[in-house]
Structure 1
Amino acid sequence: MLKNFGFTGESDFFRKAGDRLSKGLYILAAVAGTVVMTVGGAFAGSYGFVEEYEAAKGVWETFKAIVLTPHALLALGGLALAFGALGTYVDQNRQHNKIEEFSNENQRLKDIEEELNSAQEEMQINRSKVIEIQQELVTTWLKGVCRSFCLGSEERATIYYEYGEAFYLLARYSKNPVYAKVHRQKFPLNQGVISKAWQHNRHIDRRCPHASEEDEYREYLQGEYGYELEKIESLTMKSCRYLGKAIVDADVHTGVIVFESTKEDFLTYEKCEEISKYCETNQGLLAKFVRDSLSFDREIILKREGRETSVDDDFLNSMGGQA
């Protein structure tokens, strides 16, 4: 018990008691005043002031006869009651003002929150528009490339960029609307033509069997690119010719552009050299496309913020790398 008090004591008993007394002072004064007035009123009728004063001897008895009387108790109780009532009124008025102040502050915060929500919604809309414009720009560029090299409805060009141990589809173009559709946005880092081109700067495949040779085609994709049989069967475009070129930004491989076809005569030596040279010449533009996508892609932004992404990462474990 001794350790609870003194300069090094740990007890806060008196602090708590003082705090409670301070908060309940007005109520206590009103109650005490009422009690004192009740006691004084009970004895006031039978108290004879003159007789008590005349019978008093000495200073102390005279003091008691004048001060310690029922009438004095009535006056003292009245003062205490008035003090308690006035203090309670003032305290309640202050509480009311504080409640109004808090209410106004809450309303102001709600207004600010609504403004922030509106601003965030508008920012998200603008960001979505920027993403759409950026993707449209890249798709238009791919369209021009396909026209330059006379790519038809059996060919397709796609740009991917790498981030966080995965590839993401940036843009795709084909004259064939079936092949131009995007069914997946995310691809594993260690499978497919994308992976080989990203690792070795360029990957050309002219040995893949045609899809009509089903057994040989499945066996080749399984052995060469690590595709699972289920993935091969689900391919929308069963290409047999591939050219992948790494996108390099400051000596760092940041993405891949892939040209593919279902026709066996698509990739002649001259065509490979023309496409490769064109991609090499436009490395700066391709690198900028990738940088912009890394800035605007919603899933990438969420990953940077450490939040849950919209695409399940475990999905990569069961799927191949080419759509």
Structure 2
Amino acid sequence: MFKKFGFSGNSDFFKDLGDGIGKGLFILCAAIGTVLLTVGGAYAGSYTFSTNWQSTMGIWSSLWLIIWNPNSALLSGVVLFLLGATGTYKDQDRQNKKMLELSKENEELGGTKSALNSAQEELQESMSKIIGLHGELVQTWLKGMAKFLELDSNSRVTIYYEHDEEFYLLERYSKNPTYAKVHRQKFPLNQGVISKAWEHESHIESGCPHSNSYEEYVKYLDEHYEYKKEKIDTLTMKSCRYYAKAIIDADIHIGVIVLEGTEINFFENNFERKVTEYCRDHQGQLSKFVRDSLLFDKEVNIKREGKSISVEDDILQMMETER
């Protein structure tokens, strides 16, 4: 309990108490001095000290007369008033200096905050540039893969990474700008082609009818993926062939790469073997792309907040590969 009074610790109790008493004493002196000046001034004009002195008998009476008379009151009043006024002036001067110091500190603090905000903005801008460069690098890699596999404008390739029990689209490429668009960013972990590849390392969809046979196409998707006609009607790319392969880093699944096409001849010319070999030969790059995306995940999600989500789902969402 004694800490609050400053017996130990960092309490300023007695310092604050002393400062308060000092300030009050100066004010009291000035007030008493004013009263004494008023009283002394009222009687000093008609007061004759020598007359009263001659009539005074005894030491105590004489001493009281010396102390308590209009002239002494005037003198004491002047002294007390000057003491109180001087103390009050010095105290106000200290207060003004303290206020100036606090004002200067506030200005310096404001400058520090401004500098910190500028540094944070520059850091965020630099991070955005890094994320942009990373996306361009992945795009370039996907273009190289599409060229190697001779993908046409009826095809596309997409990389997804897993974070917090959901799939996120990292990058996508297609010669067809309509199919290259990204309408959704996030997908469930337990649905569709992506989910099957995630669980079993790879998944091939080769039995889906062409979308020209629309009734059969819709029936197949409904039976195999419980994907309703209302959703299918909203798809821009109505793919019927998929090849999805898990991206594995140190025996841990971290993402999925999905290739899809709208034509039934998508798997011709040893397509599956070529994809398998290409992904195996470039597994290190794929893993690094996904690891970097996980590193940037917070910034990527912030960047995505400004993007609108389309009502359109891709066939991969249905199988969680199309959006």
The answer to whether the Cα contact below 8 Å between 1:294 and 1:300 also exists between their aligned partners in 2 is no
Moved more, 137-146 or 293-302: 293-302
1:30 paired to 2:30: yes
Q: Distance in 2 between matches of 1:299 and 1:224?
A: 37
Contact kept in structure 2, 1:155 and 1:261, CA below 8 Å: yes
Do 2:33 and 2:76's aligned partners in 1 also have CA atoms closer than 8 Å? yes
Aligned partners of 1:142 and 1:258: how far apart in 2?
A: 11
Return closer, same or farther for 1:311/1:223 CA change in 2, 3 Å cut-off: farther
Shift of 1:119: 1.4
SS state of the match for residue 125, structure 1? helix
| Matches of 1:298 and 1:148, distance apart in 2 | 33
Match of 2:66 in 1: 66
Is the Cα–Cα contact under 8 Å of residues 33 and 81 in structure 1 kept in the other structure? yes
User: Is 136-145 or 273-282 further displaced after alignment?
Assistant: 273-282
The amino acid that maps onto 1:160 is: Y
Match of 2:131 in 1: 131
2:53 matched to which residue of 1?
Answer: 53
TM-score by length of 1: 0.85
The Cα RMSD (Å) is 2.9
* Inter-partner Cα distance in structure 2 for 1:23 and 1:157: 80
| Partner Cα separation in structure 1 for residue 241 and residue 295 of structure 2 | 32
2:157–2:172 CA contact under 8 A, matched in 1: yes
2:239 matched to 1:272? no
Contact 2:40/2:71 (CA < 8 Å) preserved in 1? Answer: yes
Residues 247 and 287 of structure 1 are in contact (CA less than 8 Å); yes or no, is this contact kept in structure 2? yes
CA–CA separation in structure 2 for the residues paired with 1:219 and 1:54: 133
1:155 paired with 2:164, answer no
Residue 19 of structure 1, CA deviation: 7.0
Partner of 2:167: 167
Q: Helix, strand or coil for the counterpart of 1:190?
A: coil
**Corresponding residue for residue 255 of structure 1:** 255
| CA distance in 1: counterparts of 2:16 and 2:96, whole angstroms | 25
Instruction: Give the match for residue 84 of structure 2.
Output: 84
Could you say what secondary structure the match of 1:267 adopts? coil
Question: 3-state SS of the aligned residue for 2:158?
Answer: strand
Once the two structures are TM-superposed, the CA of residue 237 in structure 1 deviates from its matched residue by 0.9
The runs of 5 or more residues in structure 1 that have no matched partner are 1-13, 303-307
Q: CA deviation at 1:269?
A: 8.1
* Alpha-carbon distance in 1 for matches of 2:255, 2:225: 18
SS of residue in 1 equivalent to 2:114: helix
Q: What amino acid maps onto 2:221 in structure 1?
A: L
* CA distance in 2 between partners of 1:107 and 1:273 (Å): 68
Q: Which residue of 2 aligns with 1:216?
A: 216
Contact 1:32 1:80 in 2 (8 A): yes
Q: Please, which moves more after superposition, 38-47 or 102-111? A: 38-47
Structure 2: stretches of 5+ with no match in the other structure: 1-13, 312-316
Task: Give, in angstroms, the shift of residue 250 of structure 1.
Answer: 1.8
Q: How does 1:275-286 map to 2 (within 5 A)?
A: 275-286=275-286
**3-state secondary structure, aligned to 1:56:** coil
Paired AA for residue 264 in structure 2: E
Partner SS state of residue 247, structure 1:
strand
Counterparts of 1:119 and 1:279 in 2: how far apart (Å)? 40
Contact 1:165 1:188 in 2 (8 A): yes
Would you say the 8 A contact 1:131–1:297 is kept in 2?
no
CA contact (8 A) 2:218 2:232 kept: yes
The 10-residue stretch of structure 1 (138-147 or 122-131) with the greater mean CA deviation from structure 2? 122-131
> 5 Å matches for 1:90-101?
90-101=90-101
CA contact (8 A) 1:198 1:256 kept: yes
Larger deviation, residues 115-124 vs 16-25? 16-25
The TM-score, its normalising length taken from structure 2, stands at 0.85
When residues 127 and 228 of structure 1 are mapped into structure 2, their CA distance, relative to the original with a 3 A threshold, is farther
Aligned partners of 1:282, 1:23: CA distance in 2, in Å?
Answer: 80
The AA in structure 2 aligned to 1:205 is: E
Distance 1:47 1:140, change over 3 A: same
| SS of residue paired to 2:233 | helix
Residue 73 of structure 2 aligns to a residue in which SS?
A: helix
- Counterpart contact for 1:299–1:309, Cα < 8 Å: no
Structure 2 distance, partners of 1:129, 1:73, is: 82
Given that residues 299 and 310 in structure 1 are in contact (C-alpha distance below 8 angstroms), is that contact kept between their aligned partners in structure 2? no
The separation in 2 between residues aligned to 1:293 and 1:210, in whole angstroms, is 35
How far apart are 1:270 and its partner, in Å?
2.5
Structure 2 CA distance, aligned partners of 1:249 and 1:182?
26
Q: Which residue of 2 aligns with 1:186?
A: 186
Q: Which residue of 1 aligns with 2:233?
A: 233
Q: CA deviation at 1:251?
A: 1.6
Q: Is the 8 A contact 1:192 1:227 kept in 2?
A: no
Q: How many residues align?
A: 303
From the superposition, tell whether residues 287 and 84 of structure 1 become closer, same or farther in structure 2 (CA, over 3 Å): same
- Cα deviation for residue 268 of structure 1 reads 4.0
